[in-house]
Amino acid sequence: MKRVYIDRIPSTQDFIEDYVKECKKKREDLIIFAEEQTRGRGTKGRSFSSLKGGVYFSFVMFHSNFRVKDVFNITKQFSMAIVKTLYEFGVDAKIKWPNDIYCQDKKICGMLIKNAFDGDYVDYTIAGIGININNPIPDELKDIAISTKEILGKELELDKIYERIVHNINSWKHYGLYADYSLLLGRTIKIIDQKGNEEIDVAEAILPDGRLKLKSNRILTAEEVSIKL
The whole-angstrom separation of Cα 119 and Cα 52 is 41
Q: Least distance in Å: CB of 95 to ligand BTN?
A: 12
Q: Is the CB of 120 or the CB of 143 nearer to ligand BTN?
A: 143
Q: Which residues bind ligand BTN (CB under 6 A)?
A: 11-13, 37, 40-43, 46, 48, 50, 56-58, 100, 110-112, 128-130
When CB distances to ligand BTN are compared, the closest residue is 110
For 40, 90, 181, 217, the CA distances from 56, given in Å and listed in that order, are: 9, 20, 23, 37
Q: Least distance in Å: CB of 151 to ligand BTN?
A: 18
Q: Least distance in Å: CB of 212 to ligand BTN?
A: 17
Q: Is the CB of 16 or the CB of 191 nearer to ligand BTN?
A: 16
Q: Is the CB of 55 or the CB of 220 nearer to ligand BTN?
A: 55
Burial of 173 (0-12, 13-18, 19+ CB in 10 A): middle
Q: Least distance in Å: CB of 98 to ligand BTN?
A: 11
Task: Tell me if 25 sits within 8 A of 3, measured CB to CB.
Answer: no
Q: Is the CB of 43 or the CB of 73 nearer to ligand BTN?
A: 43
Query: What 3-state DSSP class applies to 201?
Result: strand
216: β partners? none
DSSP strand pairing (30-37 vs 2-9): parallel
